[in-house]
Amino acid sequence: MRYNHSMNLLSAKNISHTFEYELFSDVSLELDARDSIAIIGASGSGKSTLLHIFSTLLKADKGSVSLLGEDTSSLKEKRLSQIKRESLGLVFQSHYLFKGFSAYENLEVAAILSEQSIEERLLDKLGIAACIKQKVTELSGGQQQRVSIARVLTKKPRIIFADEPTGNLDKKTASEVMHLFFEYIEANAAGMVLVTHDETLAFMCKKVYRLENKKLEMLK
Ligand SMILES: Nc1ncnc2c1ncn2[C@@H]1O[C@H](COP(=O)(O)OP(=O)(O)O)[C@@H](O)[C@H]1O
Ligand SMILES: [Mg+2]
């Protein structure tokens, strides 16, 4: 499955969701292998909620989400957990690193759970090789963010869902991290859905959508 280069990774159809008010209705999105999709939109428009629905952390009021060609609503809990564990890489602000551990130990946990190895190259590329032995609590916000990205990529996910993954990074580092994501996607026939408020970063992606007036409007 990992080397099927043309397959559909995410197919979201006619998604609607309401919290206090209706956030969006009838939103559809397709992500194929090697696609990178950015979603921009005003604060509060529902970008994070949409990402939670795509990654099945949240069930939408209406619509369907397929991951790797499998309709998540008809999957057994066990298979859905397996897909989440093996194939989804979540870079969300709420996904904290283990604080009592060093950065490297955090990567080791990910590597062991996914039976993958830690790539030294990844650490160099992210500029965290020098601080990797330090405790998470000793790292800056930007360093922690890059360790989180290293941890997610160490899993070798097929789909990356990233919510403002470069929010704590300076422009240059953010752009380097974006290139790292693109390189990863190419090398692994993976795909990415990225939420960002930074239009420059968004337009580095293959496709760009704006979430506005409850709809996803294609900009690129
Ligand atoms: N779990 C929740 N319960 C109730 N309201 C929520 C919940 N999550 C988000 N919201 C509300 O939905 C709206 C959109 O939130 P969010 O998806 O985080 O937007 P964005 O990421 O575009 O800023 C906000 O008004 C927020 O308060
Ligand atoms: Mg958000």
CA 200 to ligand 1 center in whole angstroms: 24
Confidence of residue 96 (pLDDT cuts 50, 70, 90): confident
**Neighbour-count burial of 16, counting CB atoms closer than 10 A to its CB (0-12 exposed, 13-18 middle, 19+ buried):** middle
Residues touching ligand 1 (Cβ under 6 Å) are 19-20, 23, 41, 43-49
- Domain assignment of residue 121, yes or no: no
When pLDDT is averaged across residues 12-16 and rounded to a whole number, the result is: 98
CA 94 to ligand 2 center in whole angstroms: 11
- Domain assignment of residue 34, yes or no: yes
- Domain assignment of residue 104, yes or no: no
- Domain assignment of residue 116, yes or no: no
Q: Is the pLDDT of residue 17 over 90?
A: yes
Nearest ligand by distance to the CA of 22? 1
**Ligand 1 atom 16: the closest Cα is on which residue?**
46
149 three-state secondary structure: helix
Domain region containing 60: 8-94+159-218
Question: Are the CB atoms for 162 and 194 separated by under 8 Å?
Answer: yes
CA 44 to ligand 1 center in whole angstroms: 6
- Domain assignment of residue 26, yes or no: yes
Which atom of ligand 1 lies closest to the CA of 50?
Answer: 17
CATH number at residue 43: 3.40.50.300
* pTM of the shown model: 0.94
Q: Structural domain tally of the chain? A: 1
pLDDT digits (tens, 9 = 90+) for 35-83: 999 999 999 999 999 999 999 999 999 999 999 999 999 999 999 999 9
**Ligand 1 atom 5: the closest Cα is on which residue?**
19
pLDDT digits (tens, 9 = 90+) for 117-171: 999 999 999 999 999 999 999 999 999 999 999 999 999 999 999 999 998 899 9
